[in-house]
Structures are given as C-alpha cells and as structure tokens.
Amino acid sequence: MQTLAIALGAFVFYLVAYHTYGRFLARKIFKLDPKARVPSQEMEDGNDYVPTRKSVIFGHHFTSIAGTGPIVGPALAVIWGWVPALLWVLFGSILIGAVHDFGSLVVSIRNRGQTVGDIAGRVLSQRTRLLFLSVLFLALTIVLAIFGLVIAAVLKQYPSAILPCLVQIPIAVAIGVYLYRHGVNLVVPSLVTLGIMYLTVAFGNIGFLATINETLASMPTIAWVCILLVYSYIASVLPVWALLQPRDFINSLQLISTLGLIVAGLIAAAFIGGAPPNPGAERQALEIVAPAFRSAPDGAPSLFPFLFITIACGAISGFHCLVSSGTSSKQLKSESDALFVGYGSMITEGFLAVLVILACVAGLGLGAQADGETLFGSAAYDARYGSWSAAGSLAAKIGAFVEGSANFLVVLGLKAPFAVALMGVFVASFAATTLDTACRLQRYVVQELASTFTSSKKHPSSPLLLRPLTVLSNKHGATIFAILLAGALAALPPPGPEVTWTLQSAGKGGLILWPLFGATNQLLAGLAFLVITFWLWRRSLPIWFIIPPTVVMLILPGIAMTIKVYEFFQNSQFLLAVLGLATIALQLWIILEAKAAWPRARGVIEDLSGSTETLPDGGRSC
C-alpha cells in the first residue's frame, strides 16, 4: 500500500499546488489579463504565430518538454535510493520547475513571443543576449545530435513500436490540414487516431507487419538519424497547425490514457499483487524493493550535486524555457491560459516522474528479465542497479521503466508483449516530439544570432561577408544549417580510443558532447531565472519567490560542471574540458553582467519597442 499511497499523495499534492501556489503566481505576481492582446493575435502569420485553444497548446507544450527526460533521469537517479529522487521531483517541480516554465512563458508573451535569450538583451544587456543565445545554441546542438540516437535506440530495443510511431505522422498531417480548413474540433479525430495507433500496437507485430518492424529496426543507427533529422526539418518549417499541434495533441491523449492505465494497474497491484508468473503461481506483492537511501553506489558520482543534474525534466530543466518562449508563447490565445499550459504542464510532468520512480522501485519487483531468467523483489532491483555502469546505459534506463510500468498494465489483464510495446511507443513518441520541437527552437536561435550581426551598425561588413548570415536569417536556411550541424556531429563514431568509423558505429557522435548536456541544461534554467528576475525587478514586482530557485540553479550546475571539467582533464578528454570551461566562463560573465545591471534596474522599465506590454503608470523606460 505504500506505493499506492505515494502515487495518490503525489497527485493530490500537485493538484493543491496548482490551485494555491500556481494561482497565486498568476493573479498576484504576473497578473495575467485574459483581455490583453497576445503575440498570436498581434503577429498572427498562420505559420508560427497561430491563436490556439489551451487544450491543444497543453498537448504541444507537455509532449515537447517531456520527451524521455522525465523517464531516463528518474530511472537512473533511484540508484541513490527512492527517497531523494522522490523529494527532488515533488518539491523541485512545484517550487522551481513550474515557476521557471510559467515565468518564461509569461515573459515571452509580454515580448512578442521572443525567446528568453533575446529578451535578456533588453532586461540585462546586449552582451548578455549574445552570451545567452550562444549557450542555447550549444545545448540545442547537443539535443539534436543525441535525440536521433535516442529514438533509434528505443525503436531498435522495441521494434513493435515502429509502426505505431510512423502511422501517427501522416494521420496527424491529414487531421491538421482538415481542421485548419474546416475549423472543427480536434478531439474526435485525435481519439480516432489514438485508437488506430493502439490497433497498430496490438496487430503491428504479427506476420508481415512484424517483418517490416524487424527490417526497419535492423537499419544502421546513422540511417535512422538521417531520416529523423529530415523529418525534423519538415516539421520545423511547416505551419504549427499542419503537424506540430495535431501530433502533439494526439500524443497528449496517449499520455493521459497511458498514465491512466499505469495508475489503474498500480491500484490493482496494490490490492491483489502482480500477475502470476505462471498459471497457478502466487502473485508477487507490490512493494518498494529499492533502498530508501543509498549513499555510495558502485561507480556512481556523489549524490550532491549530481542527483539534481541527473533528474532534470521531472523537476526542473532549462530546455523548458526554450519551449515556453520559443513555440508555446506564439500560440496562446489568452494570457490566462499561461497558468494551465506553463505551470500545469510542469506539474503533470512531475507526476509522470513520480510514476517512473515507482515503476523502477516497485513495478520492477513484480518481475524483470536478467540474464535469461525472471527475477522478483529486491533481486530485480539489484540486477538492474548493481552499479552505475549497469544502470547508466540508455537501454537499462528505458528498460527499467518499460518493464516496471508494463508489469502494472499486465495486472489489468493486458498481454505482456502488448504492454511492453505500448510503453515503447509511449517513450519513442515523446522523444520524437522533443526532437522536432528542438529543431524549430534551434531555427529561432540561429535566426536571432544571424540577425544580431546582419543588423549591426557598429561592425559594417561587405555584402559578400554578410550573405551567409543573411541566408541564416531565413527559416529554411537556419533550419538546414541546424540539421546539417547536428547531422555532422551525429555521424561521428562514439567516443572511445579504439572506436573507428564504420556504418554501424556512425550515428552515435552526439555521445561525444553528451557529458556536457546535464550541467549545461540546468545552467540554462538558472540563466532563464535571471531574465525573469530582472523582468520583475524592473517593474518593482515581488521577487522573493524567485531568488532562492535562481541561486540554486546557478550554483548547482556550476559545481557539477566544475567537477566534470576536472574529470575531463584527468581522463585526457580535452575537447570536453575546454567546452566545459567555456560554459563556466559564459555563466560567470552573464552573472557579472547581471551584477552590474542590478543596482540601476529597479523600477526602470526596459525598452518596450519589441514587446506587447503596456507601460505601467509611473514606470520609466530606459
């Protein structure tokens, strides 16, 4: 019953937080106005700026910020015990993560849907804007290079998930085009599509269809990466209503239905136990089989600060500020929707992370495969989490969640292969939404960086030198540049002194820079908090609630990156060491810029020429 109590308690905890702290921020701090004109209305273009219902935006926003983050992070972090992971997810998501996502969304809405990096140029300084955009560019390059590998790995691990994921795309496009032209409700077509997806899960691994899945799964990783990057280009340049919105709404329905099944299975397992391993065998009782605390797992780094870097998306992730200020802010049709989309999506992701933790520390105990045999109870946990190297691989992290959650579904009477395939589709679908959203976001960042130089009057250049940057100011040029760079990085062989380039090793080059991503991603959160803080400070609004998370998210990633840089030098990984030092230098530079601007910023409203905000009475524009 302990597992069930944690799940239900977390649900109530999040519900209360939304209706208390979330509404307090919306009404008293950000003062959302449902009648205010928003960027989707001011700048409607039918492509990026499209007024959309909050339920549809919630689907896009949640599926974009979720991806595999709230799965792989918690699934690894329970190696330190389930209590630290659970506490960080619960309190981090409510007090830090949801505030970060909500604040980034509101500030962007008030600034014509611009990214937080662009807004930093006004609320802090123009140098900060360039520094911030540079950090965003590095982080998104790593995301684009690695997520093709992640999706390919998931599909190779669970071939039965391939057909359902592929079927979703053309149907989503058809729905998007039809709805845009006829203006009908999105719910019914999306439910039909969801039903088709589930049918492909049930029957897509039988006979000829199974052969297709296996054939596609056997393709080299580099082939999958190329296909996924081309798809990301198409998804990035298409209008949001054509693919992004309908596909993400379908995925949000998939999320709700799958979470419902997991919770229902968890409730059933709490009362009757897991499914019998064999006909007539006793049911395994549902209980937490992992230790509450584990101070020194074999080969694992210290809990502090790496727990707070390992679990990112389930508690707080800098990538979310890009989604909030890059795509979602351009689609909200009312300021009042920002609470539901920004704060609500993050605490929903927190609840998903709670279920991931329970799947790995309790669901896994109902039966897990290890070396050809089925293990139960603490033996199942020990086999998966015996050491950092054993638990740290992508297959192990995803496998722990898929097997543990599938065990919940099997209790409901679903067949084990169907349950595993369903969870594989769940993981792959969310990874795909993160990939193409990241591509669209990188397009915005590249365009903003290019415009910085092409519009500069201080550094005149010849037209010949400016021509490449002018091309990057175009959405097609910026997107092609983004995917070519990510593809070139991904095409390299994985890191290792004895690894050579082959068709089979290519596609894993994103792993070269992946060790930098955890700390860099959390650093983005700290920098986004700085922008939100200055935006509030300039308007003489309360900042007491945002100062602690700002400090935490600047210090923790800094400590983690410093430790990693030391390890990089020790292991002669000089490229990572140099990039890590450069990231630390950028962080310190931005902090110094903030420190210099702080004394003269209070009550001095920045230049509002690039925003939709009305200058308040008594405010001074700088």
**pLDDT tens string 378-412:** 999 998 898 998 887 777 888 889 999 999 999 99
Residue 466 has what pLDDT? 55
Q: Note whether 171 and 163 are within 8 A (CB).
A: no
- Please enumerate in sequence order all residues whose Cβ is within 8 A of that of 298, keeping only pairs 6 or more positions apart, or say none: 386, 387, 388
Q: Is the dihedral of CA 35, 535, 24, 93 positive or negative?
A: positive
* Tally of CA atoms within 13 A in the half-sphere of 211 that contains its CB: 2
Local structure of 369: helix, strand or coil:
strand
3-state secondary structure of 308: helix
Distance of CA 475 to CAs 48, 113, 444, 479, Å? 11, 16, 8, 6
Look over the chain and give the mean of its residue pLDDT values, rounded to a whole number: 87
Q: Report helix angle 69-77 to 303-310, nearest 10.
A: 150
| Gap between the Cα atoms of 346 and 183, Å rounded | 29
Written in H, E and C, the secondary structure of 435-503 is: HHHHHHHHHHHHHHHHHHHHCCCCCCCCHHHHHHHHHHCCHHHHHHHHHHHHHHHHHCCCCCCCCCCCC
Is residue 139 pLDDT above 50, yes or no? yes
Q: Over range 344-363, report the average pLDDT.
A: 95
Both structure tokens of 193: 């599509």
The pLDDT assigned to 102 comes to: 97
> 469-504, pLDDT tens digit by residue?
677 888 888 999 999 999 999 888 877 766 677 777
- The residue among 252 and 137 whose pLDDT is bigger is 137
Spell out the domains of the chain, with CATH numbers in brackets: 2-621 (1.20.1740.10)
Whether the per-residue pLDDT at 612 is higher than 80: the answer is no
Residue 32: what pLDDT?
A: 95
Q: Which pLDDT score is estimated for 616?
A: 47
Tokens of 229: 């990057």
Q: Which of 132, 119, 232, 223 is nearest to 478 (CA)?
A: 232
Across the range 346-368, mean pLDDT stands at 93
For the stretch 455-464, pLDDT in tens is 654 445 545 4
Q: What angle do CA 212, 213, 219 make, to 5 degrees?
A: 95
What pLDDT score was predicted for residue 463?
52
Segment 112-137, tens digit of pLDDT = 898 898 898 888 888 888 888 888 88
* pTM attached to this predicted model: 0.91
What whole-number distance in Å separates Cα of residue 81 and Cα of residue 357? 10
Q: How many CB atoms lie within 10 A of CB 602?
A: 12
Calpha distance 273→284 (Å, rounded): 5
Strands (E), 49-199: none
Report pLDDT digits (tens) over 24-49: 999 999 999 999 999 999 998 888 89
Q: What is the mean pLDDT of residues 132-145?
A: 87
Helices (H) and strands (E) in the chain, counts: 27, 4
Contact 263, 355 (CB under 8 A): yes
Q: Give strand pairing partners of 52.
A: 332
Give the tens place of pLDDT for each residue, 506-555. 778 888 888 888 899 999 999 999 999 999 999 999 999 999 999 999 99
For position 527, what pLDDT does the model report?
92
Distance CA 613, CA 602 (A): 17
State the distance between the two ends of the chain, measured CA to CA, in whole angstroms. 59
Q: Which two tokens stand for residue 407?
A: 């065990």
112: alpha, beta or left? (left if phi > 0; alpha if psi -120 to 50): left
Tens-digit pLDDT profile for residues 198-214: 887 887 677 788 888 88
Percentage of residues in the chain having pLDDT higher than 70: 93
- Among residues 446, 449, 512, 538, the alpha carbon closest in space to that of 484 is found at 446
Residue 571: phi, psi to the nearest 5?
Answer: -95, 10
Count Cβ atoms below 10 Å from residue 400 Cβ, excluding itself.
28
pLDDT given at position 618: 41
Q: Which are the contacts of 157, defined by CB distance < 8 A and separation ≥ 6?
A: 395, 398, 399, 424
